[in-house]
Amino acid sequence: MEHVTAARWITEAATAAEQQGPGNLLRVVLIVMIVGCVLGGWFLLRGYRRDDD
């Protein structure tokens, strides 16, 4: 196993990040997860509302 210097490792990591792309799948997953949590919380918490009319 060869020794890789820090500068070379950073350069290779930057090159790999450029080739990988923006990560659209991760963005979609995060947005769906956040929206799902908000809707799930709303659905669960609306049952605690009292109608004392």
Structure-token pair, residue 41: 């919380």
pLDDT of residue 10: 74
Q: Where are the domains of the chain?
A: 22-53
Token pair for residue 19?
Answer: 């080739």
Show Cβ contacts of residue 12 under 8 Å, excluding neighbours closer than 6 positions: 4
d(CA 4, CA 47) in angstroms, rounded, equals 58
Please, which pLDDT band fits residue 24 given cuts at 50, 70 and 90? confident
Check pLDDT > 60 for residue 1. Answer: no
Query: Two tokens at 2?
Result: 């060869």
Whole-number pLDDT of residue 20: 64
Q: What is the pLDDT of residue 30?
A: 93
Return the ∠ at Cα 39 (arms to 37 and 45), rounded to 5°. 95
Residue 29 has pLDDT above 80, yes or no: yes
Geometric angle at alpha carbon 45, from 39 and 51, rounded to 5°: 130
Does this model's pTM top 0.85?
no
